[in-house]
A and B are shown apart, each in its own frame.
Chain A
Amino acid sequence: MRGEANGEEQRHLHDAEEEGEEEERVDAQRQRAQRAARPSSAPQQQRSAPAPGAVMRSVGYVGKHRLSAAIARLDQELQSLQKELDELETMKPASVACQEVISSTEGKPDPLLPITSGPENASWERWFQRVRSSRSNKWWASKGSDFS
């Protein structure tokens, strides 16, 4: 359902949901699609925001169905949010995770750090060693023109 260019049906739901929020998300999506898009021949994302001053059409059965589906989704989200709230009752504060982050960076040899724990691995230096080309018999310095 989501992602389809079905502007008509979506308009009914927009009246009930926060329109401003929806429009912002649509704009972001359009910007993303535009950024990704190439010259006119590339496919564009189709997503339409409700036109300003759009007249509310008569809903009919399909509209009721859509509303019911939206309510069901909201109910599921309510359950999920409640579950998350319950989790937070016993959840440890951020400081516990911060300590874990610090501890995890220690004791791991890191070739890009000026000060690091061992053991050092000789292969870390391969980027600065003479390299034999697989295609030619010549040796050439890997340092090349990138070094002053």
Chain B
Amino acid sequence: MASVAELKDNHAKATAEVNSLRERLRKRRQMLLDTDVERYSKAQGRAPVSFNPTDLVCCRTLQGHSGKVYSLDWTPEKNWIVSASQDGRLIVWNALTSQKTHAIKLHCPWVMTCAFAPNGQSVACGGLDSACSIFNLNSQADRDGNLPVSRMLTGHKGYVSSCQYVPDQETHLITSSGDQTCILWDVTTAQRISIFGGEFPSGHTGDVLSLSINSSNTNMFVSGSCDATVRLWDTRIASRAVRTYHGHEGDINSVKFFPDSQRFGTGSDDGTCRLFDMRTGHQLQVYSREPDRNDNELPTVTSIAFSISGRLLFAGYSNGDCYVWDTLLAEVVLNLGTLQNSHEGRISCLGLSSDGSALCTGSWDKNLKIWAFSGHRKIV
């Protein structure tokens, strides 16, 4: 083997080459960014979405958690929502009637994420126990009224930050973790099918905080990380990320595919949301707040969701704002945080019902709220 001095020298040379190539790549990419969505839309003479003050209203407040709400997920059919809270419980709600159908006490109270299975029969959750627990909602409660864990997915070496079932596969689930990896699981056997990142060179270099599975091609998913990048993965090729997306300047707390499945949105600690093109890697738009007049610290983006057409981008912020962005014109057209009956704390999570008719927001004020359109709708 070469001497230490030679190895160090080679390492320094390789590092310099990588940095130089990265810079060339950055410049070349810059040249391809001939416009962004906002400029392109304005050039076409498009007008922003215009809401009347009472168009979007809070039509339900789901009260029941005794701690901050951290995560929520809708069922693909029905109107059920599962939420996870600092109180160490999962609650399953019928969003239409506001009733709680299940209240699940967790073994590890430090839960960070929850998800509904595609058939609505099971829920998954994970957190600081570094595991993902699965509960079958039809199972018999024990003497204390608690649902038993039907499966424990163990193997992560750090907290589970996010979990999502693969849309057309009841038995597959993907988790993201503070151990810098994502894992694809077979829920029936509780086995790891693939690990994305970790040992392999193109994995994240920071905690992975969020993930989103492509609904049109469920072999593809994106993950957002504290390393300020998003990575695209093909579940059939775990050995390396398909692409890495740069642009953000802080932890990426939320990542969601755009409805056309060819783009995805992100929300970050740098206070911005961004829209990226999946295939080319182009950053198509940045959604930046106006700086605070009082020069307070910029609120961070905690969670995002697109309306069913993609025309609206909902973004929850650490200061309780919930901006409704016109995705095409990059303008804030409404702030749910200032409406009547809005949350009294940070918005930590949000999600659309499967038919796109309702938005659910979860907050550190311990509540969930449902928002829907109650104004006059014009059909064209």
Write the residues of chain A forming the contact surface with B, with a CB cutoff of 8 angstroms: 1-3, 13, 15-18, 25, 28-29, 31-33, 36-38, 42-43, 45, 59, 63-64, 67-68, 70-71, 73-78, 80-82, 84-85, 88, 91-95, 97-102, 104-106, 108-121, 123-124, 126-128, 131, 133-135, 142-144, 146-148
Contact = CB atoms under 8 A, between A and B. Distances in A.
A124 B280 contact: no
A80 B202 contact: yes
B128 A93 contact: no
Given A2-B180, A113-B309, A127-B96, A37 B128 contact: yes
Given A78-B17, A110-B311, A128 B59 contact: yes
B50 interface: yes
Nearest to A91: B280
A147 B307 CA distance: 23
Given A59-B4, A111-B373, A2 B199 contact: yes
A119 B112 CA distance: 38
Contacts of A16: 8, 11-12, 15
B57 A28 contact: no
Contacts of B79: 126
Contacts of A25: 205-206, 226-227
Interface of B: 1-2, 4, 7-8, 10-12, 14-15, 17-18, 21-22, 24-25, 28-29, 32-37, 40-41, 44, 46, 49-52, 55-61, 79, 94, 96-97, 99, 110, 112, 128, 130, 157-159, 161, 178-180, 198-199, 201-203, 205-207, 209, 226-228, 240, 243, 250-251, 258-260, 262-263, 275, 277, 280-282, 284, 307-312, 327-328, 340-341, 355-359, 370, 372-380
Scoring B44, B355, B373 by chain A CB atoms within 10 A of each residue's CB, the highest score goes to B373
B32 A32 contact: no
Given A3-B180, A127-B358, A133-B99, A118 B35 contact: no
Chain B, interface SS category: loop
Contacts of B378: 114-116
Chain A, interface SS category: helix
A134 B99 contact: yes
A73 B18 CA distance: 11
B270 to A, nearest CB: 11
Contacts of B24: 85
Nearest to B314: A112
Nearest to B359: A112
Given A109-B309, A110-B356, A118-B380, A97 B263 contact: yes
